[in-house]
Amino acid sequence: MKLNFSKMHGLGNDFVIINNLQLQHSFTAAEIKFIGDRKFGVGCDQILIIDPASDGISDFYYKIFNSDGSIAGQCGNGARCFIRYVTEHGLTTKKQIKLQTTSRIISGQLITPELVEVDMGVPEFRVEHIPLLMPQAAHYQLEFDLQTLKFSALSMGNPHAVIILSHEAQLNNAAELSHIAQTLQHASFFPDSVNVNFVYIVDNSLIKLRTYERGCGFTLACGSGACASAAALIKQNLVHSTLTIQMAGGELNVTWNEANLLMRGAAVEVFSGTIEL
């Protein structure tokens, strides 16, 4: 079976987008892994499938798969690419577009041809909604390699842990950060695993971020991770409510005032093609 696709990226976080509005195919985990393989398939961090909405409210069902074949609950960079795709490919004439996901409804719009704003909804700190099998607290900790690892936890439609680094150079220690991230991802108190965000606070309006995602490891950028990190720091009054997040792939701007969290950033289409499954 041959399928048309588009390759897009948001700050280097890359995606394969497939229009499945006619429900012409039901994707298996093995097919998703093949599409996402950088040597034998197209190659990407996540595969985004455009299905018809089933909730009677949204314009599209935004299905997200990690490149290892697992299902993802949310992806902010992918949402921006998804919104640009459905707009520019004539799948909708609406300015404000609602997307159904497995965990919540989000919405967004094109600001310029490449700049997209997404309303990511309300950050969720209640442990039963993350989910996190620990008593509710402002911060959490784990005894790790003879030290105490402190982290915040929340959901942006997918689970996130946020760890504040004391030195910027720590962002470059991939081996140590991977070890910490994988320990948290396999911890029994995160039953659905977790995306792990390492942040360094430059000043009240700027942070630097590196995210280790479920299902694909380090990515050049993570939209939901940027939003989760911003929300965690804003809630602790460590930064302003409007914040710039710098990642290896570029910058996002986030605003949160105890209501819905807004994210702005670029979305770029790279090429289109056909793949045979």
Question: Quick one: which of 201, 196, 195, 198 has its CA closest to 243?
Answer: 201
Among the options 75, 81, 216, 227, which is catalytic? Answer: 75
Q: 255 Cβ partners below 8 Å, 6+ apart?
A: 241, 242, 243, 261, 262
- Locate the DSSP E strands across the chain: 2-10, 13-19, 46-51, 60-66, 71-72, 97-100, 105-110, 115-119, 140-144, 147-155, 159-164, 195-203, 206-213, 217-218, 242-247, 250-255, 262-266, 268-276
Distance CA 83, CA 187 (A): 34
Question: Would you call 75 a catalytic residue per the annotation?
Answer: yes
Question: Would you call 222 a catalytic residue per the annotation?
Answer: yes
Among the options 44, 81, 216, 222, which is catalytic? Answer: 222
Rg (CA), the chain: 18
Residues taking part in catalysis: 75, 222
